[in-house]
Amino acid sequence: MGISRIDAVEANIAARRNGSDIAAELIVAGLLTERRYGECLAAQLALRFDTIGEDDRILGGADLLGRPPPRLVKVCNDRLNARLFVCPTIESLDAFAAYLARLPEMRSMTRITTRSVAAQALDRQTMAERYRAARASLSAETPQLSARTAIEPLQAAFFVAALVATALGLWFLPGWTWAIGHGAGTVFFMACLAIRIPAAIAPRSEPVSATDLPAPGVLEEGWQGVPVYSVLVALHNETAMVPKLVAALEALDWPKTRLDVKLVCEADDEATSAAVSRAIAGKPQFSLVLVPPGAPRTKPKALNHALPLAHGEFLVLYDAEDEPDPGQLREAYLRFRTGPANLACLQAPLVVTNGEAHWLSALFAMEYAALFRRLLPWLARKGLPVPLGGTSNHFVRESLVAIGGWDSHNVTEDADLGIRFHRAGYRIGTLTLPTFEHAPERWHVWHCQRTRWMKGWFVTYLLHMRRPLKLTNELGIGTMLAFQLMFLGMLVSSLAHPLLLGLVAIQFGAIALGFASFRDLGPLTAIDLLNVAAAYALFVVLAVQGLASAETKPPRRRYLLLPAYWVLLAFASGRAFLQLLIAPHKWEKTPHGIDSRAHSHDHRYRIEPFFGEAFPLAVDAVGADRLISGPSTQPLAAAPWPFSAPLQDARVHAR
């Protein structure tokens, strides 16, 4: 087969270190194909090499979900012909040959296949059931936590009553109504600012380096190899992004034999699925998962459809345009292994790479820096609910499955997931190694994306407030107050910001025109001015603190456009509220690449993201960097040499 002795020894060492098998290491190294390996096994064992047909029914297929691709599959077709499809490892070849020798009658029904063929057959057979479950998601078993119904009748009645009461108050008692509403709103906005002050004065978490990370074998006894890490990416109309995405995922510093990458596409998006098939050809750690078309057309539905096929102990979610730091999985692994038992999720910081290109992307970059580098880490350290970002979420897969996965009907499934984790008793942490993204530079793209985000926050707040007493009991009074300030505070302040600016502008306009003096400013107006100034100042402080020195920083003159940016946010929030009433499940897809750029030929788009010195991009096969290596469970001398005939007789010893 053209496998040299050196390649075989290195594959053996890698297999012992990673907890995989020799053939898997040779296949990911490009020294062997799955089909060639299967054909050689079939020739050695005198069995037929075959694929699992369309009419073959896998027995117990549902029980195989969530597990590594099966090496033994029992099938039965419409004619009741039973067959056994197997893909033994080199290490188990002797035992399997002995089994066939003891039971020669099994030869007629036994076929050799590849693990990819078995995985594809399992995907095909379970597709309909997985799709039905993904469409229903939480609405099937926990409808009170599902956004399938965005607003419950009782909530709608409450809001209508509040609007009627406000209108009557303004009609009959305008002075009192305005004073009470203005005063309550002012105090509420001050409280929303107050919760961010501790985040601004908290010490910043420094990025980890390779020397900070001990080998996994040091962290736990009974080391059995590197755990499998699943990666999910949902793509829709992302043909141009596929090659760059696959390259970024290939750069992840994790053994390829322990990666389980699922690229999830809509079945009717033929262009993207074809691009994925081309890009992942010959890369066994990648697989394409097709989602049948149908409502709701949302990212969480696609993820729920693919989740049962993922078999990693850990799972990370990325977007099509993401370029994660290669060491991000390693940092997450360390945090999970050394963190508390109820640590279910880790959020990596998102960093905008085109902050210098346009004023919209500049303010977007500042938002991300303030949120992911300052506010969310502080919330996590204090044990408060963390509204997740829509990408770079690292999960303990069992914990994600335990709470029902994503809500297929929520257009901000990330923020909802963070609250549901907290309600279920889990905790969320943050990472320091980032994921690089490209922010929208066009108003329409930004506006539609922000509308979806704000609509999702409205929906998430409403569904968790359906049973406020139960929510308070699950969160505790203090955490419940923090939830109100984070969610309701952001929603109300985004809608009210133009009003607040208008009130201040009217007062100062009257002074400038001579109709009033500074003495005429009431205490509420002074507090309004303080609120506005403090909001801008606090945002800038958090953003400047969050922008890492090694990353691109927007020009400081962009800070002056913050009031205009927040007014645009108010328009998006108003549109989101209208969509909440008429189209709560509408998913406005954010285009990536050229479609989101203000000037598609700008030379700055050639800039590659900065990954820094935290981790090397590659590790030598026997290298000294031992984070993902550990003591072998068996001596290396036990490794077999499988590539001469007969396979079970020849051995090589790695000395």
Token digits of residue 372 = 């992911």
Confidence of residue 599 (pLDDT cuts 50, 70, 90): low
Whether 44 is covered by a domain: the verdict is: yes
What is the reported pLDDT for 1? 62
Specify whether 518 is located in the same domain as 439.
Answer: yes
CA dist 497 → 7, 363, 488, 491, 494 (Å): 64, 17, 14, 10, 6
What is the reported pLDDT for 635? 35
Taking only the tens place, the pLDDT of each residue in 454-472 is 999 999 999 999 999 999 9
Specify whether 368 is located in the same domain as 460.
Answer: yes
Higher pLDDT, 602 or 187: 187
Arithmetic mean of pLDDT, 81-110: 93
Number of domains making up the chain:
2
- Give the domain CATH number at 559: 3.90.550.10
Specify whether 187 is located in the same domain as 242.
Answer: yes
Asked whether the predicted pLDDT for residue 606 surpasses 60, the reply is no
Q: Does residue 296 have a cis bond before it (omega within 30 degrees)?
A: yes
Specify whether 248 is located in the same domain as 332.
Answer: yes
Out of 116-130, 214-228, 397-411, 434-448, least confident range? 214-228
Specify whether 387 is located in the same domain as 478.
Answer: yes
Asked whether the predicted pLDDT for residue 617 surpasses 70, the reply is no
d(CA 47, CA 45): 5
What are 82's strand-pairing partners?
76
What is the reported pLDDT for 148? 94
Out of 176-180, 317-321, 496-500, 509-513, least confident range? 509-513
Whether 496 is covered by a domain: the verdict is: yes
What is the reported pLDDT for 591? 80
Token digits of residue 343 = 């640590």
Specify whether 302 is located in the same domain as 346.
Answer: yes
State whether residue 392 is helix, strand or coil.
Answer: coil
Whether 327 is covered by a domain: the verdict is: yes
Out of 35-49, 57-71, 595-609, 617-631, least confident range? 617-631
Cβ-based neighbour number of residue 339 at 10 Å? 14
Whether 619 is covered by a domain: the verdict is: no
Whether 628 is covered by a domain: the verdict is: no
The CB-side HSE value for 525 (13 A sphere, CA atoms) comes to 15
DSSP code at position 323: E
Cβ-based neighbour number of residue 551 at 10 Å? 20
Specify whether 104 is located in the same domain as 191.
Answer: no
What is the reported pLDDT for 552? 65
Arithmetic mean of pLDDT, 554-562: 85
The CB-side HSE value for 550 (13 A sphere, CA atoms) comes to 12
Closest residue by Cα to residue 54 from 125, 136, 144, 153: 125
CB distance 338 to 255 below 8 Å: no
Closest residue by Cα to residue 237 from 322, 320, 354: 320
d(CA 458, CA 480): 17
Average pLDDT, whole number, for the chain?
Answer: 86
d(CA 495, CA 577): 10
Burial state string for 294-322 with b = 16 or more CB within 10 A and e = fewer than 16: eebebbbbbbbbbbbbbbbebbbbbbbbb
Residue ranges making up the domain that contains 398: 137-613
Specify whether 261 is located in the same domain as 321.
Answer: yes
d(CA 65, CA 310): 8
Asked whether the predicted pLDDT for residue 628 surpasses 70, the reply is no
What is the reported pLDDT for 557? 84
Asked whether the predicted pLDDT for residue 242 surpasses 80, the reply is yes
**β-pairing verdict for 343-347 and 393-396:** antiparallel
What are 83's strand-pairing partners?
75
Asked whether the predicted pLDDT for residue 110 surpasses 90, the reply is yes
d(CA 412, CA 457): 7
Sheet holding 323-324, edge to edge: 323-324, 435-437, 350-352
Whether 48 is covered by a domain: the verdict is: yes
Amino acid at 491: L
What are 86's strand-pairing partners?
72, 112
Higher pLDDT, 519 or 91: 91
Whether 129 is covered by a domain: the verdict is: no
Helix-helix angle 413-423:443-464, to 10 degrees: 30
What is the reported pLDDT for 179? 84
Confidence of residue 555 (pLDDT cuts 50, 70, 90): confident
Closest residue by Cα to residue 452 from 605, 594, 312, 586: 586
d(CA 517, CA 514): 7
Whether 651 is covered by a domain: the verdict is: no
Arithmetic mean of pLDDT, 581-587: 91
What is the reported pLDDT for 636? 33
Q: Give the residue carrying structure tokens 């010195």.
A: 613
Token digits of residue 236 = 């829709």
Specify whether 245 is located in the same domain as 344.
Answer: yes
Compute φ and ψ for 451, nearest 5 degrees.
-60, -45
Token digits of residue 468 = 């406020």
Specify whether 26 is located in the same domain as 173.
Answer: no
Specify whether 370 is located in the same domain as 458.
Answer: yes
Specify whether 369 is located in the same domain as 255.
Answer: yes
Asked whether the predicted pLDDT for residue 404 surpasses 80, the reply is yes
What is the reported pLDDT for 405? 97
What is the reported pLDDT for 21? 94
d(CA 610, CA 325): 9
Taking only the tens place, the pLDDT of each residue in 370-395 is 999 999 999 999 999 999 998 999 99
Taking only the tens place, the pLDDT of each residue in 287-302 is 999 999 999 999 999 9
CB distance 441 to 596 below 8 Å: yes
Compute φ and ψ for 437, nearest 5 degrees.
-135, 165
